[in-house]
């Protein structure tokens, strides 16, 4: 654990982690990938509804705090398995990025940006920047396990030639072009291709090329089990990050005076319910207007920071909470949490079903000081990463890969 680097403070580091975790997720969960060296499959994803139903039931499961929680508190589900698979992925995974030149009329949406991305959808840009610098890239497509579709949904939205209403046609034209210029798309109907998008519009932009939606791997922030555009276990969840400037915030667990904190706009029934129950509470502070103090001050002064579903299940608040050493309380039913296959979220967050909003204070007050300290030290663990930690971070696909190569 030498060279510790704070991945959220240093967004490139974060991009690396997001990128690695996501690649890990893709390589672990995609059946295609498991067989990619042996055969070319044509995917026909008819959803198994009973399987999806089980997933939804899992997201309803409440976190139970009891003695076991303290004893079994690793932030990983299975650290050793992960380390082994990570190493294997790090050694062998190869990705081909469709090449575009600076003079391409759409280079602004196809190439990685040469500045530090900011704002609400920065994860998308960081992912591409980091991927392109990584050793996973191959220039030889015949060597590739995966193919990256490099268009940026966030940048297409703001391109006056395209705009929100033109994205579906752009994607159609893009896929038409690559499937005519290269053989790779047709070989799998896109099942070994992926794209990355953080803005929610990305999820609905694939309707004119249904193969992108049903076959390609969609790496999106808006990863809700409840929307048909997102297909769990084929698609992957990308954490939403709003890069925050500034030095090392104060992580002290003891100095936090507020039990719970939320700030945001009143744009969903879930938030209305939060307001209705906790709008005047003296322990849980819920703000829908201007804050008296800065957002940062509130986050470092609170033990628990609420992430409450708005228009979408995802916001940057979970990562904000982790960054400021506050334990995220996730109130967003059906949210496929980022890296949930690797990280055991219940060891560094509290997941509360929308139905249980009336019990919120009871749930938070029911967490003992000892349990709180364990959660908070785990928050700091997932917040930090280091070169030494990467091997622990990536790997289960390869157990399967090796099983199938027999
Ligand atoms: C996909 O699979 C379903 C069920 O096996 C089948 O009814 C359907 O025709 C298939 N679709 C395609 C495009 O092959
Ligand atoms: C659907 O998923 C359930 C639960 O994972 C499994 O028991 C069942 O066999 C699956 N059905 C099909 C048709 O794959
Ligand atoms: C696809 O190729 C055509 C012809 O070269 C070009 O006009 C069009 O802009 C391309 N589409 C995209 C999305 O790059
Ligand atoms: C891929 O399939 C499409 C549609 O069938 C076809 O128009 C195109 O020529 C094919 N691409 C290649 C490279 O053969
Ligand atoms: C909070 O208290 C004020 C003043 O007593 C009252 O007008 C308001 O309706 C209360 N709000 C909620 C959400 O209970
Ligand atoms: C996380 O990083 C901070 C700042 O570099 C350091 O003070 C802290 O000890 C680290 N925590 C863990 C759990 O590694
Ligand atoms: C991953 O592979 C790169 C390039 O071979 C190497 O520099 C790096 O140390 C590896 N990382 C781990 C954690 O194995």
pLDDT in tens, 204-256: 799 999 999 999 989 899 999 988 889 888 888 888 888 776 656 777 888 89
Residue at token pair 């940026």 = 152
Residues with CB under 6 A from ligand 6: 4, 6, 248, 380-381, 384
Closest residue (by CA) to atom 12 of ligand 2?
Answer: 48
Ligand closest to Cα of 136 equals 7
> Are 228 and 325 found together in one domain?
no
Does position 46 have pLDDT exceeding 90, yes or no? no
The predicted pLDDT at position 397 comes to 29
Which residue's C-alpha comes closest to atom 2 of ligand 3? 177
Full residue range of the structural domain in which residue 207 is found: 93-242
One domain for residues 318 and 350? yes
Pair (281, 161) in one structural domain? no
Helix (H), strand (E) counts: the chain: 18, 12
Same domain, 151 and 201: yes
Residue with tokens 């530090």: 116
- For residue 280, the CA-to-ligand 5 centroid distance in Å is 6
DSSP class of 312: S
Q: What's the token pair of residue 337?
A: 């949490």
Q: Which two tokens stand for residue 156?
A: 């297409």
Least confident of 25-29, 103-107, 337-341, 387-391: 387-391
- If one compares 38 and 208, the residue with the highest pLDDT of the two is 208
- Does residue 186 lie in a domain region? yes
Is 113's pLDDT higher than 50? Answer: yes
Q: What is the pLDDT of residue 312?
A: 94
* Mean pLDDT, all residues of the chain: 79
For 105, half-sphere exposure in the C-beta direction (CA atoms, 13 angstrom radius) is 6
* More confident site: 239 or 264: 264
Give yes or no for residue 46 CB within 6 A of ligand 1.
Answer: yes
Residues in the chain: 406
Beta strand 258-263 pairing with 217-220: unpaired
Phi and psi, residue 36, nearest 5°: -65, -25
**Residue owning the nearest CA to atom 3 of ligand 2:** 51
51 found inside a domain:
no
Residues 238 and 260 in one domain: no
Residues 6 or more apart in contact with residue 297 via CB below 8 angstroms:
none
Q: From 43, 46, 189, give the residue whose CB has the most ligand 1 atoms within 8 Å, as the site to mutate.
A: 46
Last residue in a domain, options 201, 219, 242:
242
Ligand nearest to the CA of 20: 7
- H helix runs in 30-152, sequence order: 31-35, 49-60, 67-71, 79-92, 107-110, 122-133
- Cα gap 227→205, rounded to integer Å: 14
Q: Are residues 122 and 223 in the same domain?
A: yes
Residues 116, 227 contacting (CB under 8 angstroms): no
Asked whether residue 392 is assigned to any structural domain, the reply reads: no
Ligand closest to the CA atom of residue 281: 5
Q: Is 302 left (phi over 0), alpha (psi -120 to 50) or beta?
A: beta
> 174 and 205 in contact (C-beta within 8 Å)?
no
């Amino acid at each position: 654990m030498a060279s510790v680097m704070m991945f959220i403070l240093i967004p490139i580091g974060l991009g690396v982690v997001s990128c690695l975790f996501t690649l890990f997720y893709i390589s672990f969960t995609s059946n295609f990938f498991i067989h990619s060296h042996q055969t070319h499959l044509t995917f026909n994803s008819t959803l198994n509804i009973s399987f999806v139903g089980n997933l939804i039931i899992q997201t309803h499961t409440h976190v139970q705090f009891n003695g076991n929680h303290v004893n079994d508190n690793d932030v990983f589900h299975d650290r050793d398995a992960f380390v082994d698979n990570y190493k294997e992925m790090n050694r062998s995974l190869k990705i081909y990025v469709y090449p575009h030149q600076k003079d391409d009329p759409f280079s602004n949406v196809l190439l990685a940006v040469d500045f530090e991305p900011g704002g609400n959808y920065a994860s998308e840009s960081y992912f591409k920047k980091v991927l392109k610098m990584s050793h996973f890239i191959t220039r030889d497509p015949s060597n590739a396990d995966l193919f990256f579709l490099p268009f940026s949904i966030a940048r297409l939205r703001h391109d006056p030639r395209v705009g929100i209403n033109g994205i579906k046609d752009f994607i159609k034209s893009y896929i038409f072009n690559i499937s005519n210029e290269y053989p790779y798309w047709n070989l799998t109907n896109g099942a070994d291709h992926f794209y990355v998008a953080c803005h929610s519009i990305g999820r609905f932009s694939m309707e004119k090329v249904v193969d992108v939606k049903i076959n390609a791997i969609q790496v999106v922030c808006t990863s809700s089990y409840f929307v048909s555009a997102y297909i769990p276990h084929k698609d992957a969840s990308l954490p939403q990050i709003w890069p925050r400037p500034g030095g090392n915030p104060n992580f002290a667990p003891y100095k936090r005076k507020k039990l719970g904190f939320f700030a945001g706009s009143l744009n969903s029934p879930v938030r209305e319910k939060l307001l209705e129950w906790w709008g005047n509470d003296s322990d849980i502070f819920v703000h829908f207007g201007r804050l008296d103090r800065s957002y940062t001050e509130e986050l470092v002064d609170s033990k628990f920071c609420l992430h409450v579903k708005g228009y979408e299940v995802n916001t940057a608040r979970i990562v904000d909470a982790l960054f400021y050493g506050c334990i995220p309380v996730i109130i967003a039913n059906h949210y496929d949490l980022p890296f949930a296959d690797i990280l055991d979220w219940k060891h560094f967050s509290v997941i509360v079903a929308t139905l249980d909003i009336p019990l919120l204070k009871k749930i938070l007050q029911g967490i003992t000081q000892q349990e709180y300290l364990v959660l908070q030290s785990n928050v700091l663990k997932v917040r930090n990463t280091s070169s030494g930690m990467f091997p622990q971070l990536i790997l289960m696909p390869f157990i399967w890969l090796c099983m199938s190569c027999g």
